[in-house]
Each structure stands twice: as C-alpha cells, then as structure tokens.
Amino acid sequence: MAEGVLEIDDSIFDAEVLKSNKPVLIDFWAPWCGPCRAISPLVEELAGEFGDKIKFVKCNVDDNPITPGKYGIRSIPTLMFFKDGNVVNQVIGIVARSKLEEVINKIL
Amino acid sequence: MKSVDYDLVIIGGGPAGLTAGLYAARARLNVILIEKIVPGGQVLTSDWIENYPGFPEGISGPDLIQKMTEQVKKFDLNIESNEVISLDLSDPVKKIKLSDRTITSHTIIIATGASPRKLGIPGEDIFFGKGLSTCATCDGPFFKDKIVAAVGGGDTAVQESIFLTKFVKKVYLIHRRDQLRATKILQERAFANDKIEFVWDSVLTSIDGLTNVEKITVKNVKTGDTKELSVDGCFIWTGILPNTEFLKDELKVDDYGFIIVDSNMQSSVPGVFAAGDVRSTGLRQIVTAAGDAASAVFSAEHYIENIK
C-alpha cells in the first residue's frame, strides 16, 4: 500500500470519508486502468505534501462497486474531493500536478 | 560564448520524448526532458500493442512506457515534471519558459504529442466522464453487458471497439464513410465480431441523457436521415489535435496545426526539431515516434557540433 494514501473499501467509506474531520481526496482506480497507474505516484506525492491538511484515500472500483455506483463514477481515474461529507470538486482523467494543486488550494 | 543551460531540451515524455532522451543521454548531451503530467502520453490509454517490434505476444501501453522509462533511467536521463509555458526562438540560444523559471538551450525537440479531437457537438462537454469517454481501457469495464457507441474508423476506433466487446453487450461502430480506414487485420477481427454493429456513412450529431449518457443522435451523410440510438456509453475516436498550446506562430505548421519538419526532423527554425504525433506526417505510430526521435537527436547533435 502506498504511504500516506489509505486504501479504503465500501464498508469504511462513511467513517473514513463522509465523517472525516479533514477534507478528503479520494482516488477511484482499478488495476486494469493504465492512466490510473500513471497518476497514482502523483497522488502519493501530493499526499506527502498536503497529507497534514487533507486525508488521501484510494478506492479500487473493482472490489468496491457500491461507492463508485453511488457517486456515478463512469470514468477512471476520477479524483473526488469531499468536505464535511459533501462532494466539492472532481477531476476526471490524467491532469497536470499544477491543476490538482489548484483544486487542492481552493478547498483548503 | 555566454553560458547556456542545456545542449538539448526535450519537451514531452511519450514514446518520442523518451526515445529522444535515450539517444541524447547516450550521446552524453547536456539534456533535460520536461514532462507536464507523467511519462507516457496517449500510449497509457492503449490496452494492447501488437505492432511494436520485439514483443511477439504484444504488450500493454502502460507496461511499454514503464520499460521505456526504466531504460532512460538506466542512462541517467534528467526528467523534470514541469510545464512549458512558451518558447522564445528569436536568438540562436533558445529560451524555454517553464512554470517557475526560464531555461536556455542550443536545441529543442518538441515531442508533445496529440490529444483526442473534440467533435464540437451538443452534450460533448456535459457528458465527459458520465458515459462519454475516449479511453476504453479506463472505462470499458463500467459498461458490462450494456450497449455503447464508438465513433471513428481508424486503427484506434476499431481496435478499442474490439476491446470493448469483452465487456459490453453491443457496440455500434459509427463511421462517416462506407469503409474503415483501420489496418486490415483489425478490420477482419471487427467484421468477424458479432457484438459490433456497423453504422456506415454516419456522423454523431448529439449526445443526450439526464445525468449520464442515455441516447445519441446520428445522421446519415448520404441520405440526410437522422436516427436515435439508445446507448449507455459513447466512445469517440475521430482523430487528434497537436498539443502545441505553448506555441504561437514561431514555427510553420500544417492546416491542422501539426509542426512541419524536414527529413531530418528540423522545423522551420534551425535547432528546433519535432518528433512523434505532434509533427505533420501521414502515419502516427509508436514505432514512427521512436524513429522520428532518433533522427531528431542525430540532427540536434550535428547542429550543436557546428555551433560550438
């Protein structure tokens, strides 16, 4: 498991994401998704940098169909940002680090 | 001579950029590769590559990129994650403006690739990521036992449509002509696949739904008739546009914005080269990108030798 990025499953989504007292960035991914593999080191880097202010988690959509279904995920990688249990932003596909930093700074 | 930061700056880290990096590092040039996102480019979305020599069983796009990246690291190529904002090519010493500083170089290889072209039809922006996609390997499994549309007739459209049939119940393959442009072996596989239904002579005119894609409208370009198709997803592979947003009009480009180069990969500005999908060419493959890049580095080396 990646350092600083917590792997979550459907059963702990509510506790770890919706009830988190910090904003949450959740990375929806799957092993078969090439771009997901490409973006995961970037998410880990950001976790190293912003980990004290934001909780970084990842969710394997293959093993956990309920959560992506609930949020209408039809494309991965999708990075979804939660604050106080609500979706405040999302980024679909591979994007530059600068774009993710921009979104992060907006929600902080 | 005033000091110049680099002999060569490579912009882009797909197959062309990584190959340029490999050749330049082995030539012991003072080189840096600038990649905006992560190395790989469009290849990352390719599920299976059967036409890159040396991999008789084929190889996935991400695995091929991983191998190319390992190879350049072996030769200590300096790769920086940064974005090129603009180029100043008015002097022989070129200035490359990055997000945090400006660097100078004798030569530049532009290997920024291309991105899927938009159709500019209603619904395209709204439904992106909500059933509309350009990446079958990313999103295909979300459409298990569903009906999807695929638009295009080239290699990518046909290969990815075949890939989609692993998951979906049916693919409508919509193409504006009455025959495919894809390479013959892919055509043979598509015609033999009973999950693919061809919609010939037709173009997509709109994408509709409530929150996700529910139906599309296609128009027959010969008869003018339109019809609606109920689909859960729609994949668009109708060509690409060059990634040249950092260029203004420094270089000569073709009608579609791809950089025009000579047989040595040199652009209209001496010392500035282009390789891979970003250059004006009739064939865009991983193998041609790699070939372009090797030529471009060879040309850059000659250019540097002549000015030093």
B170-224: per-residue pLDDT in tens? 999 999 999 999 999 999 999 999 999 999 999 999 999 999 999 999 999 999 9
Return the CATH number at A54: 3.40.30.10
Q: Regarding the domain with residue range B118-236, which homologous superfamily does it belong to in the CATH classification?
A: FAD/NAD(P)-binding domain (3.50.50.60)
Distance of alpha carbon B262 from alpha carbon B284, whole angstroms: 16
Say if A65 falls within a structural domain. yes
Domain count along chain A? 1
Q: Closest Cα partner for B77 from B277, B297, B308?
A: B297
Q: What pLDDT digit, counting tens, does each position of A27-72 carry?
A: 999 988 888 988 888 899 999 999 999 999 999 999 999 999 999 8
Domain carrying residue A50: 6-107
Question: Is B139 a residue of the active site?
Answer: yes
Q: Residues of A with CB below 8 A from B133's CB?
A: 74-75
pTM of this structure: 0.89
Q: What pLDDT digit, counting tens, does each position of B28-51 carry?
A: 999 999 999 889 999 998 888 999
Four-way CATH pick for B6-115+240-307: 3.50.50.60, 3.30.450.260, 1.10.10.10, 3.40.50.1000:
3.50.50.60
Say if A1 falls within a structural domain. no
Q: What pLDDT digit, counting tens, does each position of B281-290 carry?
A: 999 999 999 9
Q: State yes or no: ipTM above 0.85.
A: no
Question: Is A59 a residue of the active site?
Answer: no
Probe site for chain B from A37, A63, A73, A75 (most B CB atoms < 10 A)? A75
Measure in Å the smallest separation between the Cα of B44 and chain A Cα atoms.
5
